[in-house]
Structure 1
Amino acid sequence: MNHKAKHILIVGGGYVGLYTALRLQRKLRRELRTGQVRISIVDPQSYMTYQPFLPEAAAGNLSPRHVVTPLRRVLPGVRLLNGKVTKVHHGNRSVTFQPLVGPAMDLEYDVIVMAAGSISRTLPIPGLADAAIGFKSVGEAIALRNRVLGMLDRADATDDERVRGRALTFVVVGGGFAGVEALAELEDMARDAVKYYGTLSEKDLRWVLVEASDRILPEVGPEMGLWTIEELRARGIEVKMRTLLESCVGGHVKLSDGDEFESATIVWTAGVKANPVVNSGDLPLDERGRVKTTPQLTVVGADGAFAAGDVAGVPDVTNPGKYCAPNAQHAVRQAKVLADNIVRHLAGRPLLTYRHKYAGSVAGLGLHKGVANVYGVKLHGLPAWFMHRTYHLSRVPTLNRKVRVVADWTLALFFKRETVSMGEIESPREEFRAAAATG
């Protein structure tokens, strides 16, 4: 290997960024120690979020701290730069880096890994930007938890039926994993919490799932998707198929089926798109706006550039003509091959092809409820819920986090979950400002 220090720059600290850096630390231990190689990660956050556990964190089954992995702790040999890459100049092997505070600067590299993930894909729906919240970050998950519980407090404190109806109506748009799991977990939590309110009951709560297509959870197959719809409806949840959100100005929801109502909580989970950083550089993009990627996880026509995860259009060699799905199952496995290929690239050796036949999917639908379709084995209820937890526990990075997650689950077996809204943590200075204003 060349004795000149090689700089590997990883854009994004999510699944692909973390797992790629972890494997590179092991594979290039000697080179890192002797200064032949250095690795940097650029990400606005100093942690990686294990997104499949966001619904459980929102519902209070897991501590929010235990669904994130601190990057500096698990990657001691990697430099973490908090900020964003705003432009990629691969022609001269550099990026424009904007730190969280201070002026932008150029960072040079020898190898770049595009792993910036995805953001919520929104539509120009009147009121959406002001009235709705996404469900991709731990901040959004906790804000949503506080919102739901806070709405119970609001409804309990008034006799105004309009205020109560608006507060107790919860809308989730999008019938994929994020939407269905978020709705199911939060509805489960709200049903537990409402028992402590003397003026409220379960029948006062209205939950609405809005899905534009004719199926939900397509990853678990049509049969399990239909079972999930029946399960949700049996719990009193309204599942509206082939229905669009047309407007939600000021929380006044208008649906394409003609239904109109007021809601103070609207959750948008209707799809994702590649991080905007892909549009600000000279790397080629595919027809869906993702970095155009080969089965070896290199960027098409760009020597020294690699990509994987949600930001990359990776061909699925087990299903010609298709792309790998944007999920954790592929991202974790892609990171392993990507790291190995970087090592091979630096050594001038042939690269490996990423090949993984999709194993199926599991989804949690609240405490002790789930649905699964893994290698053709279809399960629902308690067995699927157990499989969901077991699988995702195996995927959570680091032993530290695995133990903490198990501890949370174990405590939940013996004690009731906390159902307290702490919405004030989102605006902690308001009370101080009010005190200062009164002198």
Structure 2
Amino acid sequence: MRRILVVGGGYAGFYAAWGLEKRLRPSEAELTVVDPRPYMTYQPFLPEVTAGSIEARHAAVSLRRHLKRTRIVAGAVTEIDHANRHVVVRPAEGPEFELEYDEIVVTAGAVTRKFPIPGITEEAIGMKHMEEAVAIRDRLLTSFDRASALEPGPARRKLLTVTFVGGGFSGVEGFAELLSLATALLKPYPEISRDELSFHLVEAQGRILPEVTDKPGRWVVRSLEERGAHVHLNTQLRSAVDGHVVLSTGEEFDSALIVWTAGNAANPVVHNHTDLPIDERGLLLVRADLRVGTETDPVPGAWGAGDDAAVPDLASPVPGARTVPNAQHAVRQGKLLARNLTAHVRGRAPKPYVHHGLGSVATLGIGKGIFQYRRIVITGLLAWLMHRGYHVLAVPSWERKVRVLAIWLTAAFFGRDIVSLASVEHPRDAFVSGGDPIR
């Protein structure tokens, strides 16, 4: 029996393991997935989780529920020793241990890219994981509660100021969705006026949304500014100490919520703790058929896909191009990897990965969106409906599709739930204080 180990339960890892379960007989392979989280995060839904349009649990796909024949190991792989066919796993509790394998699938994913900017580590929240999206939403709701009890002044202005750093898809979608939530909150919070809201999007380049062309990108900037947002292009964040934001343009302001979405970096396990070949960016060197290695020198028993893999983009006219790290590629690479590894186990040749993009679609808040496929650009309500339609079909399992659709339909009739559960971050406070507000 072939022992197949999948490192990472994200998009590529989940779909690879799911596909292997469907294709391989129980007598052919023993499957194991190692991931510190017990679920796969459907990341395109994170902006809507942030805005309260989707329940957080419905944007997470349980590994144990859907991978019924796979051993799920709750832990993080800290070292890959392919020469000896084993990995080192650090569990949440207990000592590290080794797992042996015959075939390894490396889909560890990328990590949030950070820069040595004063205050960022202490003040900022990322937007790559479910708990981050929930924390952003709860912090905004809590800020509204606190600001409504304050007189106008610096403390109130800080609570109502939000700063996003990074103008890529996740940053723009999260920023626009949170702006939509804040605008909707003005009705139940009559103490707060629209001109008190201060939303800042900071981007180091001269444009946002590099996945679309210049004209649609400029339309998104205009749309955000018409809704009261401040978009700072060609601007860098210099400091965020104690929530005091300093920009390279000289502008300064206090912000109670700072969200960092300035791109991805290579996973440290792949970059620093493996003997598998990597490229100059620290990504796993992967062939077109998703085997690790080069076209002339594949590494036996090693496969890779997703954001931590440098996969040749055979659909691109540019020689030597690599696939971009997005959900479209990760899902399709995971599915093909399962087919190719099954073929390999059964003595057949794997097929190369070729995927022509389906276009780019983004949500910009309730009823607002943008879609581009080549020269075709659609904006507004239709693009927003296309975004929702595509992703409700793309999220894994009918159970999740129905849950998400039910939440959207409920919100259409009753609006968004605006209850903050930030107190769950400190569940013992009420018990320790005994309800005494002075303690």
Query: Is the contact made by 1:220 and 1:362 (CA closer than 8 Å) also made in structure 2?
Result: no
What is the distance in 2 between the residues matched to 1:390 and 1:342?
A: 32
Cα RMSD for the two superposed structures: 1.4
Match of 1:288 among 276, 281, 284: 281
**Which residue matches 1:244?**
236
**Which residue matches 2:382?**
383
2:378 partner SS: strand
- When structure 1 is superposed on structure 2, of 233-242 and 220-229 the one drifting more is 220-229
- When structure 1 is superposed on structure 2, of 405-414 and 191-200 the one drifting more is 191-200
> Which one has a larger percent helix, Structure 1 or Structure 2?
1
Residue 174 of structure 1: how far off its partner (Å):
0.4
What is the distance in 1 between the residues matched to 2:111 and 2:179?
A: 25
Residue 435 of structure 1: how far off its partner (Å):
3.3
**Which residue matches 2:20?**
24
Does residue 401 of structure 1 match 2:394?
A: no
**Which residue matches 1:325?**
324
Amino acid at match of 2:273: S
Does residue 303 of structure 1 match 2:300?
A: yes
1:299 partner SS: strand
Residue 7 of structure 1: how far off its partner (Å):
0.6
**Matching of residues 54-65 of structure 1 within 5 Å:** 54-65=46-57
Match of 2:223 among 222, 231, 248: 231
Residue 169 of structure 1: how far off its partner (Å):
0.7
What is the distance in 1 between the residues matched to 2:382 and 2:234?
A: 30
**Which residue matches 1:351?**
350
User: Alpha carbons of 1:380 and 1:436: their partners in 2 closer, same or farther (altered >3 Å)?
Assistant: closer
Residue 371 of structure 1: how far off its partner (Å):
0.4
1:287 partner SS: coil
2:291 partner SS: coil
Residue 302 of structure 1: how far off its partner (Å):
1.7
**Which residue matches 1:124?**
116
What TM-score, normalized by structure 2, do the two folds share?
Answer: 0.96
Amino acid at match of 1:417: R
Q: Structure 2: where are the runs of 5+ without partners?
A: none
What is the distance in 2 between the residues matched to 1:73 and 1:420?
A: 29
Match of 2:104 among 88, 112, 116: 112
Amino acid at match of 1:27: R
> What does the per-residue CA deviation read over 1:371-411, in whole Å, with 9 as the maximum and x for residues that have no partner?
01024321000111011111111210000000111111111
What TM-score, normalized by structure 1, do the two folds share?
Answer: 0.96
Does residue 6 of structure 1 match 2:5?
A: no
> What does the per-residue CA deviation read over 1:262-310, in whole Å, with 9 as the maximum and x for residues that have no partner?
1111000000112211121101111111111111111114211001000
What is the distance in 2 between the residues matched to 1:254 and 1:307?
A: 40
Q: Give me the identity figure in percent.
A: 48
Amino acid at match of 1:345: H
What is the distance in 2 between the residues matched to 1:382 and 1:70?
A: 32
Residue 160 of structure 1: how far off its partner (Å):
5.1
Amino acid at match of 1:271: G
Match of 2:164 among 150, 169, 172: 172
Equivalences, count: 431
What is the distance in 1 between the residues matched to 2:188 and 2:407?
A: 23
Match of 1:256 among 233, 245, 248: 248
Residue 198 of structure 1: how far off its partner (Å):
2.9
Query: Is the contact made by 1:393 and 1:402 (CA closer than 8 Å) also made in structure 2?
Result: yes
**Which residue matches 1:85?**
77
What is the distance in 2 between the residues matched to 1:318 and 1:98?
A: 38
Does residue 421 of structure 1 match 2:420?
A: yes
- When structure 1 is superposed on structure 2, of 198-207 and 135-144 the one drifting more is 198-207
Amino acid at match of 2:304: A
Q: Structure 1: where are the runs of 5+ without partners?
A: none
**Which residue matches 2:43?**
51
4+ residue runs of structure 1 moved beyond 4 angstroms? 436-439
- When structure 1 is superposed on structure 2, of 59-68 and 345-354 the one drifting more is 345-354
